[in-house]
């Protein structure tokens, strides 16, 4: 039986939606609607120190004000610890995850290559902790690739950016699954939840594209399917970087229908769609279908 298109929007409640995050929300909704699929919401609140109390409900209200209403129950990652623990246990049992005692300073002083200013983990604790206490848990990327006969270069295809590849082992290293502070890492949570929610199509901001190869490796390690990916253009802040609270993003006030329509039109333009009136959602969907085919992905 063919899989039913299932998409999602997965905001982190570290603040309200702004012009940049609405682009990803709208794109994921449009893509689901254009495929006659389902669209779900997941609140990614694993990084509790960065979460703003009440932002989750406020985001749901902002989305509802834009007419973006999920087709099923909302999932909160803070309620999914058991599923993440099971996944980690599966990896530990296979010998593909190991405890790490390194501090950030240890990693920086041992590293030779830097990428996006994040240190490449040099594999210090792969063969044991040397008597030091365990802090984080990491995926042994090489062990997974070797056991499953996966190539060193992870290939994946983006519906907008085209073919992509990354040598996760060399460019990132053994990445964290559970952090030293006990919190679940984004990579593990997102892979477990995309599978649990039956997500077939991930549509999200381009700033996250760089995480995809890691997620593909983790999907293989956990025996989970790899969804189709589409990374949407970013809205840039005044400093030329991705729009965020730090560079001037304003929380969108979408209470009145006019404000919501304006914000949606601005987001639609970032996606290369022409402005619409409230009666022409159909037109936006048609344009979207023309621009984004899933064929060949």
Residues that bind ligand GLU (CB under 6 A): 10-12, 44, 190, 204, 208
Among 38, 104, 42, which residue's Cα sits nearest to residue 71? 38
Q: How far is the CB of 24 from ligand GLU (least distance, A)?
A: 7
- Residue number with CB closer to ligand GLU (38 or 204): 204
For residue 237, CA distances in Å to 19, 80, 216, 234 come to 10, 33, 30, 9
Q: How far is the CB of 10 from ligand GLU (least distance, A)?
A: 4
Q: How far is the CB of 233 from ligand GLU (least distance, A)?
A: 15
Among 2, 4, 34, which residue's Cα sits nearest to residue 198? 4
* Residue listed under structure tokens 């073919």: 163
- The span from the CA of 268 to the CA of 266, in Å, is 5
- The span from the CA of 184 to the CA of 188, in Å, is 7
Are the CB atoms for 68 and 264 separated by under 8 Å? no
- Residue number with CB closer to ligand GLU (143 or 199): 199
Are the CB atoms for 32 and 38 separated by under 8 Å? yes
- Residue number with CB closer to ligand GLU (72 or 257): 72
Q: How far is the CB of 90 from ligand GLU (least distance, A)?
A: 21
Q: How far is the CB of 201 from ligand GLU (least distance, A)?
A: 12
- Residue number with CB closer to ligand GLU (157 or 276): 157
- The span from the CA of 134 to the CA of 294, in Å, is 43
- Residue number with CB closer to ligand GLU (206 or 262): 206
- Residue number with CB closer to ligand GLU (190 or 192): 190
Residue 128 DSSP SS3: coil
Among 280, 279, 267, which residue's Cα sits nearest to residue 232? 267
Q: How far is the CB of 44 from ligand GLU (least distance, A)?
A: 4
- The span from the CA of 100 to the CA of 141, in Å, is 14
């Amino acid at each position: 039986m063919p899989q039913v298109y299932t998409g999602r929007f997965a905001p982190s409640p570290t603040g309200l939606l702004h012009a940049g995050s609405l682009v990803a929300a709208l794109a994921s909704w449009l893509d689901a609607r254009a495929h006659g699929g389902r669209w779900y919401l997941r609140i990614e609140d694993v990084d509790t120190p960065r979460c703003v109390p009440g932002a989750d409900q406020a985001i749901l209200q902002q989305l509802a004000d834009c007419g973006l209403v999920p087709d099923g129950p909302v999932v909160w990652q803070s309620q999914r610890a058991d599923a993440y623990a099971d996944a980690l246990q599966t990896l530990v049992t296979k010998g593909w995850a190991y405890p790490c005692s390194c501090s950030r300073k240890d990693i920086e002083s041992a590293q030779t290559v830097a990428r996006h200013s994040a240190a490449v983990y040099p594999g210090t604790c792969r063969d044991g902790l040397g008597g030091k206490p365990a802090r984080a848990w990491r995926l042994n990327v090489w062990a997974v690739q070797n056991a499953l006969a996966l190539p060193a270069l992870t290939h994946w295809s983006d519906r907008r950016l085209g073919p992509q590849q990354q040598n996760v082992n060399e460019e990132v290293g053994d990445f964290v699954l559970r952090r030293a502070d006990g919190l679940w890492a984004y990579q593990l949570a997102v892979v477990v939840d995309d599978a649990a929610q039956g997500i077939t199509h991930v549509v999200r901001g381009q700033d996250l594209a760089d995480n995809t190869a890691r997620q593909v490796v983790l999907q293989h390690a956990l025996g989970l399917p790899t969804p189709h990916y589409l990374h949407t253009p970013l809205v840039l802040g005044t400093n030329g970087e991705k729009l965020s609270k730090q560079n001037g993003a304003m929380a969108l006030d979408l209470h009145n229908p006019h404000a919501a329509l304006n914000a949606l039109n601005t987001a639609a333009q970032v996606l290369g769609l022409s402005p619409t009136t409230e009666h022409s959602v159909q037109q936006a969907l048609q344009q979207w279908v023309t621009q984004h085919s899933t064929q060949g992905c």
